């Protein structure tokens, strides 16, 4: 958890948090959500997913801004992202004016999923160890607890050659989106994972729950359990239950995440 | 352990700690215990169980205030709880005046166990990974070391459907209490765990010991040990031995927990 | 590692560290070692072993002061120990004037090993999870890397009944010392572990190495390795190699441990 | 991650970082790289590899300064290293003027690999638990994800006797270099690991990736996976993909590592 000390204690972020109204749940999925509000929530998502060790220095989170545009940083480590690092990418992976900053090479993961999935409003790509592990195995990753119900029967896998390479073209992005289908996650063989959700808050919960679920399935099988009691898939829900609550009360989690940031900022 | 930095370094808590007398063991089980003292200990229990990673942002701790009432927060993350967040719930899960704050949806876990178990004075519900794992397995969770003797032969499990849902009604609460029986813990299939104890101090020790015990049993079985040397159950005791001491000298642990909080508060 | 923030950032310790000469290796085994110097090193050992998660709130470290006396704290958590908490225990486990402070219940572990083993100058008793695990298994704990060579062919185990109880009498202490024999460690069934060494610096290295060795043996066996390549036991050495160095140059480690404390003290 | 608090928050390091130009990627492999720049990057590598728990108090990192000379500290813990601790070693392991400071006993690991491998510009030797584990097993350590492609088909192992001893002579160094061959890593039976790379940035990525790869292979095998889907080896590359990116854009990682140091320095 101390990663948050590193993830959040950087100048620039304080302003973002300062703009944030107390514990009001973000309206990422509301048409009224302002760009500033979306940027603020995206920065929090980046920092929290780094803090929770879902992201390393090379993962990335994005949020849909409009049917044909999404917000995502330039090629910078999640632990360093501030609002000013966010740019508008279109569905071809282009940015009108990047101000000389390099684009994320795997931006096509995001652009092609947003193109294929109108219901998706937020996406994260990471190289989370527990999920890289399942991406390299034929053992299916199935939902073990309520928070992971969103993955359905099991998480599908996309294979880009046999060297564990990433997705750096629109063509590969389309194939990845096809592999994901209508689900909320897809594994990338020998490389990582992609999680998609209807909002940034749901995305953070789904990502954390999927990582935990992978670790628990691995440990159960290691114990010699031949028949883990997997739960009934709940593709529509899941995220809402990720924190053990119900009815999608994400505000409890979001307040905690924001407060962690505010408290830590005070210490730097 | 650094979670405590996040868990405790929030304004408001300093006052609570300030009210606390040095290393005097809390008198949670004494009829003379004041409400203020119980609130103070409940806040410490919430922060410590978050710090020890037994609780995530959605767990909750409660303490019995009277035969028909108990203290518990409104629906807020344990890492943020201060005395002012605590409200008096009755055994039907009602609060006279919640001041517009949402109640914990799974409050019936607490109300029904307090109703069925006069001997129980403190309860915690969490989604602790190692215990969610055992909740999804037919492999019994048995006591491996002194601190976990309180669980008896093995921890019973309660199943609420097949989607890993929580307990959000008095009826489900009653069934959960029945599943727990006279023991100190019960697993919730695909969801989490509930631990009960005669005091808040014993609760914290039991919760931490149960988590450790689950991790060790899982690792022993993974090693290929066909016959782990489980200990003789000690339902009445256990908590007292959780820290390796004896005779229930919980003050050593409580002093350490309070000091962690005080020291960390100084740094913010 | 962040446990050190909690373990060391307490007033009183700064003075102890202040007394300490830069990176000069402690002379724990030298007859010229002053009581003040031994107390300083004992405090550092307590804090570092807590920081390294070998000790919980209930473990204890002691150092021999004379053939018939040793220094050890009253019943207080290692993370809180300062020089003023240390008292002189004799080989019957008595303290001339404890100033009303409770003695450690398991003091007989120390007194009887010092009585039986003139070569032992430092002892630690902990409830380290990885070692509690091996204490409850018939799978032998054998040395896998250089730092653990001191354990010999495997770590013997002492069983005190079948409830995982501790050692709280001279009689049990004698039996524990017999079980340890001439070795450097002994497991306590369902309870914990005891490590002994010729100096406090060697003790810290041996304790950390034994914990790591237990974790690695468990993981190797879990992988399905039927024939781990254990090393040739090196009862006399071991400690010196614990840090991968040789010739017993413990100063490198001790300087680092002291500096961690000094740096962290500055932050509080 | 909190180890970085300990690793970097020491006076002296701030100056090193201060010398460092924003997020400019280090030119370790450029003939124009100044000694000061190499020293700065070596200090960062030492601190980050300690922070990432690849190094304990006894590991060491070196960088080639010229065909017949390399920079490495005197025998001091990586968490304490500052530029002033770095000395010029020749390929016989000698230092012109050590100013009375003890040399690293295992310096021959570095000198002999630099002698045998003109392509190697940076080397690290550590006692990383997951790699010590594989060093004691006949189970091959093969590449599971893109970042570990640099190890080839599997990591070779060097055995120095049966006591897990280190490499403290030129003769043993030569044999270790032979065991490594043309690869990027070699295991040392019962002792540790050595990783080599064309630059310090690549070295840090390779070391972190190899540790992660070892942990994931161990967990996959523990799950009972009989046929993990290892990737196609990529000896030349690997490092560039370690962070999940491509084309060797190491600047993203290096900026993050530098910023972690700068931020933490501000807090002390």
Q: How far apart are the first and last CA of chain C?
A: 17
pLDDT given at position B265: 55
Please name the residue ranges forming H helices in chain D. 3-8, 13-19, 35-51, 107-116, 129-135, 170-180, 200-222, 251-266
What confidence tier does C14 reach under pLDDT thresholds 50, 70, 90? very low
Tell me the nearest-neighbour CA distance from C1 into chain D, angstroms: 6
CA distance B73 to B95: 11
pLDDT in tens, A4-24: 332 223 222 222 222 233 333
- Answer yes or no: do D145 and A132 touch at CB < 8 A: yes
pLDDT in tens, C188-218: 999 999 999 999 989 999 999 999 999 999 9
* CA distances (Å), origin A225, targets B134, B137, C195: 10, 7, 35
In chain A, what residues touch D230 (CB-CB under 8 Å)? 136
Judge whether B146 is closer than 8 Å to chain C, CB to CB: yes
Closest CA in chain D for residue C233 = D163
Please list the residues that pair with C64 across neighbouring strands. Answer: C70
CA distance B165 to B188: 9
Two structure tokens written together for A15: 């302003």
Cα within 13 Å of Cα(A142), Cβ side: 16
CA distance D110 to D123: 7
CA distance B211 to A220: 15
pLDDT in tens, B38-85: 998 898 899 889 988 999 999 999 999 999 999 999 999 998 888 999
pLDDT given at position C24: 39
The question of ipTM being above 0.95 is answered as no
Average pLDDT over every residue of D179-208: 96
State whether residue C146 is helix, strand or coil.
Answer: helix
- Answer yes or no: do D222 and C225 touch at CB < 8 A: no
> Of B52, B106, B112, B253, which one is the catalytic site residue?
B106
Per-residue DSSP letter, A160: -
Is residue C96 within 8 Å of residue C77, measured between CB atoms?
no
Q: Would the pLDDT of A3 be above 90? A: no
- Sheet bearing D60-66, strands edge to edge: D86-90, D69-73, D60-66, D122-126, D192-197, D185-188, D157-158
Judge whether D234 is closer than 8 Å to chain A, CB to CB: yes
DSSP for A48-98, written as a single string:
HHHHTTS--TT-EEEEEEETTEEEEESS--GGG--GGGEEEEETTS-BS--
pLDDT given at position C226: 92
pLDDT in tens, D32-65: 458 998 998 898 899 889 988 999 989 999 999 9
Cβ neighbours of residue C79 under 8 Å, at least 6 residues apart? B256, B259, B260, C3, C6, C7, C10, C46, C47, C50, C57
What is the β-pairing status of strands D157-158 and C60-66? unpaired
Where chain B has pLDDT below 70, the residues are 1-33, 237-250, 261-268
Two structure tokens written together for A73: 């940083």
Closest CA in chain B for residue A216 = B133
Q: CA C141, C143, C144, C148 torsion: positive or negative? A: positive
Count Cβ neighbours within 10 Å for each residue of A172-185 and write b for 16 or more, e otherwise. Answer: bbbbbbebbeebbb
Q: State the Cα angle at B174 between B173 and B178, rounded to 5°.
A: 115
Q: How many pairs of residues across B and C have Cβ atoms under 8 Å apart?
A: 131
Mutate to test the interface with B, among C75, C137, C226 (most CBs of B within 10 A): C137
pLDDT given at position B144: 96
Q: How many pairs of residues across A and D have Cβ atoms under 8 Å apart?
A: 133
Q: Which residues of A are catalytic?
A: 106
Cβ neighbours of residue B192 under 8 Å, at least 6 residues apart? A145, A244, B59, B125, B126, B127, B128, B131, B132, B135, B166
In chain D, what residues touch A166 (CB-CB under 8 Å)? 146, 241, 244-246
């Amino acid at each position: 958890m101390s990663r948050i000390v590193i993830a959040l204690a950087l100048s620039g972020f304080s302003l973002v948090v300062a703009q944030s109204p107390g514990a009001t749940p973000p309206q990422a999925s509301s048409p009224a959500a302002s760009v500033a509000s979306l940027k603020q929530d995206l920065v929090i998502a980046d920092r929290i997913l780094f803090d929770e060790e879902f992201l390393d220095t090379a993962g990335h989170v994005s949020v849909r801004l409009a049917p044909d545009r999404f917000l995502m940083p330039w090629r910078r480590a999640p632990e360093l992202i501030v609002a000013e690092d966010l740019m508008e990418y279109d569905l071809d992976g282009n940015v009108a004016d990047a101000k000389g900053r390099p684009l994320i090479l795997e931006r096509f993961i995001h652009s092609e999923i947003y193109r294929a999935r109108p219901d998706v409003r937020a996406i994260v790509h990471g190289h989370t160890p527990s999920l890289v592990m399942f991406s390299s195995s034929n053992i299916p990753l199935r939902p073990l607890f309520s928070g992971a119900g969103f993955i359905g029967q099991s998480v599908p896998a996309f294979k880009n050659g046999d060297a564990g390479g990433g997705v750096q073209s629109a063509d590969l992005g389309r194939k990845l989106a096809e592999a994901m289908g209508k689900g909320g996650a897809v594994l990338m063989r020998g490389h990582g994972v992609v999680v998609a959700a209807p909002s940034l808050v749901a995305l953070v919960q789904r990502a954390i729950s999927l990582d935990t679920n992978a670790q628990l399935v691995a440990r159960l099988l290691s114990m010699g359990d031949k028949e883990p009691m997997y739960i009934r898939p709940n593709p529509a829900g899941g995220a809402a239950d990720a924190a053990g609550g119900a009815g999608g009360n994400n505000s409890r989690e979001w307040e905690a995440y924001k407060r962690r940031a505010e408290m830590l900022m005070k210490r730097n």
